[in-house]
Structure 1
Amino acid sequence: MGTILNMSIIMSAILYQILVIQLLLNMCSAKEVPAIFVFGDSLYEVGNNFYLDTVAKPTLPNGIDFTKGKRRASGRYTNARTILDIIEEELGFTNYTPPYLSPQTTGDVILKGVNYASSGSGIFNSTGSKFGDHICMDEQINNFAKSRQDITSKIGAVATRKLLRDALYFIAIGANDIILLSSNVSLSQVENIKYLDNMISKFKSQLMRVYNLDARKIAVTSAAPLGCIPFERDKFSIDDCVPHVNELAKLYNVRLKILLSELTKHLAGSIFIYMNSYTMLEDVLQNYKSYGFTNANSACCRVYGKHGGKLPCIFFARVCPNRTQFVFWDAYHPTEKANFILAKHALDGNRQYISPINIRQLVNS
């Protein structure tokens, strides 16, 4: 039994190292990306909420492993790097895309991109309001328009148009809207469908606004298997994934994929990428032992709840010492190790994980 266990650990370590080596080798072949602009919620946030009057702030112990030897909050809802941090490194960026609200995000800095994401935000403007101030998707786009004006004033209209059309755009939004919907179990299927259709309609207008501001290469993250996060497991007091929450996520994703395909077809020069975070995270959850994890249902940073999903990762939370063994960092978000695997799927995955092309192909398109 001991020999089998040791072999399993060795194979898991080898698999993980192969993924790392593949990423490092691919760094040499990537075409240069001039800038990256980011929209979304806490999955992509890097600190905008520090500047808002809200309880949703990524304070310590969030980011506990981000800066070696320095205990300070990174603005990220994970123990170290987000999916996007890893993607940016892989694409050759030496600095991470900065938060829009930071006083340092000015001057030439914005020529390499800006991060507008805000924890708690959603497609609907009202989503996340219970936490206090947040930057909803509509307002994030307004902020992007302001950045566009600032860039134009620095380099001129023609150069700005080229920069923005060659840049990459990452959007992760909608999860909070679906989590909000899933909480109302009294709604009928017809009412759920109407809500999701309204989400898609609203999101379509938002994506078209981004396009009209010269965005062309846009990667949109789907809803993950939200019924599997510790928050939902504890909310409904079950050990397994919550079926009706995952079903809502899948219903939304079907509509999202169709929308992105239609936009690519009808908006000249655009390509909208469908990042299938449902299958990406599902792969990790179903094969967690193969990836070297020992826990795929509970939070590493936890306050209370059987799965640590009752409260977010806040200053008095307990943090597990073995963070590389957990898929989930807190009640909602993956650990850096899980993010690394998800980033690998986004960068080099096949159409099961990202379509019609992956991020590496998008860069070189």
Structure 2
Amino acid sequence: MAFCGVDLCGVKLIMVLLVVTSFMSFIPKGDAADDKLLGASFIFGDSLVDAGNNNYLNTLSKADSTPNGIDFEASGGTPTGRFTNGRTIGDIVGEELGIPNYATPFLAPNATGKNILYGVNYASGGGGILNATGRIFVNRLGMDVQIDYFNITRKQIDKLMGASKARDYIQKKSIMSITVGSNDFLNNYLLPVVSVGARITQNPDTFTDEMITHLRNQLTRLYQLDGRKFVVGNVGPIGCIPYQKTINQLNENECVELADQLARKYNAKLKDLLTQLSENLPGSTFVYANVYDLVMELITNYKKYGQYAGIIPCGPTSSLCQDRDKHVFWDPYHPSQAANVLLAKQLLDGDTKYISPMNLRQLRSL
């Protein structure tokens, strides 16, 4: 996602979901090798769930300046690299699931030792499924690189727990959370000027097929590294976020049709992919997080949820508002903490309209 987020995160709210992210960790509660460990969240994706990895990259996609993080209590309001004013959906979900630490960003100095047993965050603002995605930001971690990094973590966990115990811990007590895909459209296929040639040679079907092929390989790699519980968010209504409405001079109740069409086309293929993987990879469970409908519901009926300011961003590019809990979006791309709380609740406890075949509490209990 980007500059302060053209990661289109506001869209993916998705889900991120279950992840617990922050480059700051709470003090561990108990020994890392303790059998009573509740498990870990291993988080992959873009700026919606980046908890600080981009702080350690020379990149144009950063959230390391105020007022980002102004409402993040764990840091006392200091920016942590999160592309929002407070907690991400992943933070909220992790707290609700009882994990005592926020997942440590892989590139942070403290991503070592027992800290990693509570989870590691590999997400990167600007990252995508395809390696070419996000190149306008100079540096970012795409999904292939993020999984390479997880392979490093995986070996470290073997050393900490022993191979047999580590395998059991990853398979039975850990969740792989993937929030990715929006950038492949906004900062690749739909990128003004730069991607005109690509749209001539690749129609929407061909491009979304390429995304699905790459994601299939990436999820299969995570399975081969002992991942068994997965939650994968679809792409939100990217044609309806403030950024798209502004550059296309649309009214509040209008959306950019091409962008929205691409999201819907990809989402249908993603749902089929996750069904296939669940059937073909023994012992796996792939949960489909319907971020598209979740975010669209919030955008359409924001007053119903107390978001009286609608989709008008609250900061940091706009004048900082005092009523941040009344805004759906923090900036033109990313949701506010208040919106994340509403979205996380549906992911944790919602029915199959928003998360299927089970919600996150049920996935954790498997």
TM-score computed with the length of structure 1 as normaliser: 0.85
Aligned position for 1:295: 309
Amino acid at match of 1:353: Y
Cα distance in structure 1, aligned partners of 2:363 and 2:336: 26
Contact (CA 8 Å) 1:182, 1:248: kept in 2 or not?
no
Q: How does 1:63-142 map to 2 (within 5 A)?
A: 63-67=69-73, 70-142=76-148
1:171 aligned onto 2:211:
no
DSSP-derived class of the 2:235 partner: coil
Q: What fraction of aligned residue pairs are identical, expressed as a percent?
A: 42
1:160 aligned onto 2:172:
no
Aligned position for 2:54: 49
1:230 aligned onto 2:242:
yes
Question: Higher relative contact order by CA 8 Å / sep ≥ 6: 1 or 2?
Answer: 2
Query: How many residues are treated as equivalent by the alignment?
Result: 322
In the TM superposition, what is the alpha-carbon distance from 1:251 to its structure 2 partner?
A: 0.5
Cα distance in structure 2, aligned partners of 1:208 and 1:299: 37
In the TM superposition, what is the alpha-carbon distance from 1:32 to its structure 2 partner?
A: 6.8
In the TM superposition, what is the alpha-carbon distance from 1:189 to its structure 2 partner?
A: 11
In the TM superposition, what is the alpha-carbon distance from 1:68 to its structure 2 partner?
A: 7.3
Amino acid at match of 1:275: A
Amino acid at match of 1:67: E
DSSP-derived class of the 1:290 partner: helix
Cα distance in structure 2, aligned partners of 1:225 and 1:138: 25
Aligned position for 1:274: 288
1:181 aligned onto 2:189:
yes
In the TM superposition, what is the alpha-carbon distance from 1:105 to its structure 2 partner?
A: 1.1
Aligned position for 1:211: 223
Contact (CA 8 Å) 1:41, 1:118: kept in 2 or not?
yes
DSSP-derived class of the 2:245 partner: helix
Go from structure 1 to structure 2 and tell me whether the alpha carbon gap of 1:218 and 1:289 turns closer, same or farther (over 3 Å shift).
same
In the TM superposition, what is the alpha-carbon distance from 1:156 to its structure 2 partner?
A: 1.1
Cα distance in structure 2, aligned partners of 1:109 and 1:168: 16
Cα distance in structure 1, aligned partners of 2:359 and 2:248: 35
Contact (CA 8 Å) 1:41, 1:120: kept in 2 or not?
yes
Aligned position for 1:329: 330
Cα distance in structure 2, aligned partners of 1:150 and 1:140: 15
**Deviation readout 1:3-35 (Å, 9 max, x if unpaired):** xxxxxxxxxxxxxxxxxxxxxxxxxxxx97311
In the TM superposition, what is the alpha-carbon distance from 1:363 to its structure 2 partner?
A: 1.1
Q: Which moved more, 1:289-298 or 1:79-88?
A: 289-298
**Deviation readout 1:235-263 (Å, 9 max, x if unpaired):** 21112222221111010000000000000
Go from structure 1 to structure 2 and tell me whether the alpha carbon gap of 1:318 and 1:115 turns closer, same or farther (over 3 Å shift).
same
In the TM superposition, what is the alpha-carbon distance from 1:112 to its structure 2 partner?
A: 1.4
Q: Which moved more, 1:32-41 or 1:256-265?
A: 32-41
1:149 aligned onto 2:155:
yes
Contact (CA 8 Å) 1:32, 1:91: kept in 2 or not?
no
Contact (CA 8 Å) 2:237, 2:260: kept in 1 or not?
yes
Structure 1 unaligned regions, length at least 5: 1-30, 304-316
Go from structure 1 to structure 2 and tell me whether the alpha carbon gap of 1:85 and 1:178 turns closer, same or farther (over 3 Å shift).
same
Aligned position for 1:13: none
Amino acid at match of 2:244: E
Q: Which moved more, 1:224-233 or 1:138-147?
A: 224-233
In the TM superposition, what is the alpha-carbon distance from 1:182 to its structure 2 partner?
A: 3.0
Amino acid at match of 1:285: I
**Deviation readout 1:67-92 (Å, 9 max, x if unpaired):** 27934112211110100100000001
In the TM superposition, what is the alpha-carbon distance from 1:216 to its structure 2 partner?
A: 0.3
**Higher-Rg member (1/2):** 1
**Deviation readout 1:303-333 (Å, 9 max, x if unpaired):** 3xxxxxxxxxxxxx53222101110011111
DSSP-derived class of the 1:274 partner: strand
DSSP-derived class of the 1:77 partner: coil
In the TM superposition, what is the alpha-carbon distance from 1:129 to its structure 2 partner?
A: 1.4
**Deviation readout 1:252-284 (Å, 9 max, x if unpaired):** 000000000000000000011100000111111
